[in-house]
Amino acid sequence: MTDFFSVVGKQRACRSFTDEPVTDTLVEQLLEAATHAPSAENTQPWVFVVVRDPETRARIGGITAAAWAGVGSEFSRPRLAAGLFADVERGATGGVSEAPVLVVVAADTTNCVEAALAASIFPAIQNLLLAANAAGLGSALTTLPTFAGDLSAILDLPGHIRPIAVVPIGHPAGPLGPPRRVPVAEKTHRERFGDRW
Ligand SMILES: Cc1cc2nc3c(=O)[nH]c(=O)nc-3n(C[C@H](O)[C@H](O)[C@H](O)COP(=O)(O)O)c2cc1C
C-alpha cells in the first residue's frame, strides 16, 4: 500500500482492463473503505451490487453503449477534448464492462432526505476509487449506464433503490499517465473571492 498523497496524486479514470481476476477479499476491503465515507445524518444510504457474471456485465455494457450512441456521444463530442472523448468512447463501447468486477453503487431512497442523497453517495464512490488505486487497481466513476436502458431491471433493484454509478474495477490494461488538473492557485481565493491565493 502507498501513502495517501501519492495515491490521490495519481488517481485517474481507468476504462480499459486486463482479465486478471480480483478476489472477493480485495473487493470487500475496497467496499469497507467506501463505507467509511461521510453521509448526511450518518444515514449510509449506499447499496452495492458486485457484478462478476460475464452475461450481466455484457448487459450493462449494452445499455452503456446504447446510452452513448443515443445521446451521450452527441452531447459529449463538442464538450470534451479529443483524447478524453476517445477514452470515454472506448469505455462506453466495451472497455468498462470488460473489467472483471463492476460495482454498481446505488442509493436507498428511504433512509436519507432527497436533497442530501447523491451527496451522501459520491464520497463513498470516491473512497472506493482511491482504495482501488491504493491496491494497485484501476477504476472509474461512470454514470452513463444509469441514464438509459434498464440497469434496475438487469439487477432486480427494487423501486426504492436508485442506481447512481457503475464503478469498474480491475487491473489496468496500460499506464494511465498523470492526471490533468488546473493548478490550485487558479482555483483558490484568499479570504474573499477575487483575492488570489
Ligand atoms: C459525476 C461524474 C460522472 C462521470 N461519468 C462518467 C461516465 O459515464 N463515463 C466515463 O467514462 N467517465 C465518467 N466520469 C469520469 C470523468 O470523465 C473523469 O473523472 C474526468 O474526465 C477526469 O479524468 P481523470 O479521472 O482521468 O483525471 C464521470 C465523473 C464524474 C465526477
Provide DSSP, 71-134.
IIHHHHTTTS-HHHHHHHHHIIIIITTTSSEEEEEEEETTSS-HHHHGGGTHHHHHHHHHHHHH
Parallel, antiparallel, or unpaired for β 138-139 and 161-170?
antiparallel
Reported confidence tier of residue 164, pLDDT bands at 50, 70, 90: very high
- Closest ligand 1 atom to residue 91 Cα is 11
Q: Is the pLDDT of residue 81 over 90?
A: yes
Q: Report the C-alpha dihedral over residues 40, 42, 46, 47, rounded to 10 degrees.
A: -150
Task: State if residue 144 touches ligand 1 by the CB under 6 angstroms criterion.
Answer: yes
Reported confidence tier of residue 1, pLDDT bands at 50, 70, 90: low
Residues 6+ positions from 138 with CB-CB distance below 8 Å: 12, 14, 17, 99, 132, 168, 169, 170, 171, 172, 176
- Closest ligand 1 atom to residue 64 Cα is 8
Burial status of residue 191 (CB atoms within 10 A of its CB: 0-12, 13-18, 19 or more): exposed
Span 72-95, average pLDDT: 94
- Assign domain 19-174 to its CATH architecture: 3-Layer(aba) Sandwich (3.40)
- Closest ligand 1 atom to residue 179 Cα is 27
Domain positions in the chain are 19-174
Distance 127 CA to ligand 1 centre (A): 15
Span 55-66, average pLDDT: 97
Task: State if residue 168 touches ligand 1 by the CB under 6 angstroms criterion.
Answer: no
